[in-house]
Amino acid sequence: MLKHRVIPCLLLRNGGLVKTCKFGNPKYVGDPINAIRIFNEKEVDELMVVDILASKEGREPNYALIEQFAGECFMPLCYGGGIRSVEQAQQLFALGVEKVCLQTAALEELALVTQIAERFGSQAVLVCADIKKDWLGRRQLYAAARGKTVSRPWRTFLEECVAAGAGELVVNSVDRDGTMAGMDIELIREAAAALPVPLIALGGCGSLADIKAAVAAGASAVAAGAFFVFHGPHRAVLITYPRYQELETLLSAT
């Protein structure tokens, strides 16, 4: 078992697998079931699947599709998108999902985080905080479903999520999403220093060196999308994952 998890983050849009860049221009990259099978073969630590339209469109999770994912997954599966009640979370757990990831619902009412944590344990509920810089370079909390920044201070929101019962926090840099240009190390460092629970860093990973830098900055785990689905300067679609030995060597000294 690696000291730090390295997690592919797959984005769903209308049942297909897509990759965005700075939360826009979704590019179709294939069938999610096929991607899960490839990640199984590559012995991935954990898998995160997020439906990027469910909350925006006011939909529940696609339970039939998620059941297929859980049936294929050999690794722990985390699902996010459209979760607004304990009953929906319970249905997802019954299908084989191990963790649920909240964002829209957590921004609106943290009580749901508490309810899920009290019923299923804090390890079963994550909250994702999307962070976007404004025109002055100030980091703002971003509500992806509404496409708007939120006036609430982002560090305060992270602390409130932990107090509500979240077992892990995902901190995602909107400005780095899909760019593969390197992670926001300063953001990771600030978030990790403020959190007593594991931090999953997301956004901008383009190399093994980026993973190592994020862990050195305090991330307990690193999630990535484009890094695992694109290859080469022309961003050809090729689903990949580093060999276990590569990651072990990379992270053993961190």
Pick 5-252's CATH classification: 3.20.20.70, 3.90.1150.10, 3.40.50.2300, 3.40.430.10. Answer: 3.20.20.70
The answer to whether 159 and 207 are in contact (CB under 8 A) is no
Long-range contacts of 27-31 (CB under 8 A, 24+ apart): 29/229, 29/230, 29/237, 30/229, 30/237, 30/239
Report the sign of the C-alpha dihedral through residues 80, 82, 122, 151, in that order: positive
H or E element that contains 41: helix 32-41
| Domain residue extents for the chain | 5-252
210 among known catalytic residues: no
Q: What is the pLDDT of residue 24?
A: 95
The answer to whether 17 and 32 are in contact (CB under 8 A) is yes
Q: What is the pLDDT of residue 252?
A: 83
With a cut of 50, which residues of the chain have pLDDT below it? Answer: none
State the Rg of the chain over Cα: 17
Cβ burial, residue 209 (10 Å; 0-12/13-18/19+):
exposed
What is the rounded CA–CA span in Å between residue 176 and residue 227? 12
Q: In this structure, what token pair is assigned to residue 3? A: 């000291």
Q: What is the pLDDT of residue 254?
A: 64
- What is the per-residue pLDDT across 100-115, written as a single tens digit (0 to 9) for each? 999 999 999 999 999 9
The answer to whether 83 and 110 are in contact (CB under 8 A) is no
The answer to whether 128 and 102 are in contact (CB under 8 A) is yes
Check 130, 175, 177, 210 and give the catalytic one. 130
Amino acid at position 113, single letter: V
Q: What is the pLDDT of residue 1?
A: 62
Q: What is the pLDDT of residue 50?
A: 98
**Bridging pattern class, strands 47-51 and 16-21:** unpaired
Amino acid at position 63, single letter: Y
What is the rounded CA–CA span in Å between residue 41 and residue 166? 31
H or E element that contains 131: strand 125-133
Q: What is the pLDDT of residue 3?
A: 84
